Structure 1
Amino acid sequence: MSKRIWLFLFTSLIFGTFMAPSFSSAQSIPVQSGKLTLRVPAKATLRMGASGSEVKELQARLKYIGFYQGKNDGRFNWKTHRALRSFQNQFRIKVDGVYGLKTKKVLRATTKGWAPGVENRIYRKGDQGGYVYELQGRLKYLGYYNGKLDGRFEWQTDRAVRDFQYRFGMKVDGRVGSRTKLKLWRATRGYSPTAKGKKAPKPSGMTQVTPMKNVPASNQGFSSQDIDLMAKAVTGEARGEPYEGQVAVAAVILNRLESNQFPDSPSSIIYEPLAFTAVADGQINRPPDPSCKRAVYDAVNGWDPSNGATYYFNPVTATSEWIWGRPQIKRIGKHIFMR
């Protein structure tokens, strides 16, 4: 009998020793109104180098409103970083390229109509919904649309879109894809939906067919080093060209940046082997001309006199037969611009 008692006491002692930490830790869990409350730490912010489903959603939402032009691959690379900085600049958030709580809140509020796959949609005549309402508001803000804000993409909205595309040097087709979205968002930085009966503020001057009198020093998410390097490239490539031609050369750099066929940063585009004569002959090291720097600001703020060109050349000095085979768009000064 005594053996059984001693065995029971020994077993209880061992059991109590191993279970004590569990009881102790259980007491630290807060319980409210009989329910267990778990404290879940907030998710870390996203930045360059991150990857995964959250980055993929970030890319999709940025693409939905036209800021991101790349693939939704879930990799937070330079293109995603630049698109996020551009978004932050547009919405007056601290421009740091980090997807934190404030940026996430603003982006989600801006993309309420987003759903997986919707970001690739091209809006056109016959569509209706929240994005069309937003489109009409921004076109009205610029003075292109005079109809009702009803979210219906009918002939007045179609005409307004075509007028906007024409004025901003894009293909005039009445279709609102990523390129038109991005141009429109950039052109309406000061826009915000106003309450009924309140008059919307007048838009700030935006480059359309002619250069701005006072080009705003808005980097649109680019760093000051990016702006300076692009200005040096334009100086080396188009110094002495008409101002419109200088803006067009800057626009070619930006158009390459938006294309998946070229590198994904201004420096890698400019220093790509055989891409720019200014790099080969050392003119890239010259101080940027003030006119060329102003042209870069004009380009990043939406003016594209090249009409979407990704190449250009001087027919007098060109030696490559390949360049003549590209589809030509227009000639500005000594340069022919092509796709």
Structure 2
Amino acid sequence: MTKQKQWMIAAFTLALAAAPFAGVIFEDHDLVYAKPYAAPQAATGTVDGGEEALPAFGTTPLKLGSSGQDVYELQGRLKHLGYFNGKIDSKFGTKTKSAVTWFQWKFGLKSDGVVGAKTKLKLYNATTAWKPTAPGTSTAQKKAAPKNTAKSNTAELSSGNSMGLSENDLKIMANAVYGEARGEPFEGQVAVAAVILNRVKSPSFPNTPSGVIFQPGAFTAVADGQIYLEPNEQARKAVQQALSGWDPSGGCIYYFNPKTATSKWIWSRPQVKTIGEHIFCM
């Protein structure tokens, strides 16, 4: 009996002596497993508070019929690059779709007019300098604009019209210059207008600007719909300069962009000069 009590006392004493060590082991295990969980929480906090992942637009794809702030941003960024010349009204209409399609084609994306994640990323990266314009600014500009802007533009074009061209011909020429060469230097835009006039004068082509521009396969802007974008003032002035006799192309009747040209035949034409991204040839 005495031995049994001695064993019990010894076991109890041993348990009491081991208790502090058990607590340390338990706490150590807690620390080991706490660190892996703490790290992700810290990383998440950094992403939420930092500037590493600024999204472009929202996550919903934009397409014909969409509206709202994302469309406002889309139109603003496209206008910043010169692809969109319509009114920034936050409504995804046919003009916006045409601008999106043109942008997608230029940047090697699927040209479907739907603004998904890939298109948003490309557009965001291409317009890092873009900043939203306050709606009040555009409204003020609209109020200040003269009511007869269209008439004055036509009058300016007609002032140098020595070929007796119709107002529609002058307008479509400005559309063609804008659709084909709005990213080119002014001299290059005048050269494009001059090429159209040179074709009108040539017996090998239709004898009107409209006939020349809409001749099947003649102009990329007609094929992809950019011909219907509203031209800016620079395109109109380029037409006016060509009508007044300035021909930077040197009498050429063809031009092409060597980076995008798919026709082998065009490379066989005698090349006269290069202006901007276009090679002008006979």
Asked if Structure 1 and Structure 2 have the same fold, meaning a TM-score greater than 0.5 normalized by the shorter chain, the answer is: no
TM-score by length of 2: 0.43
User: Larger C-alpha radius of gyration, 1 or 2?
Assistant: 2
What TM-score do the two structures reach when normalised by structure 1? 0.36
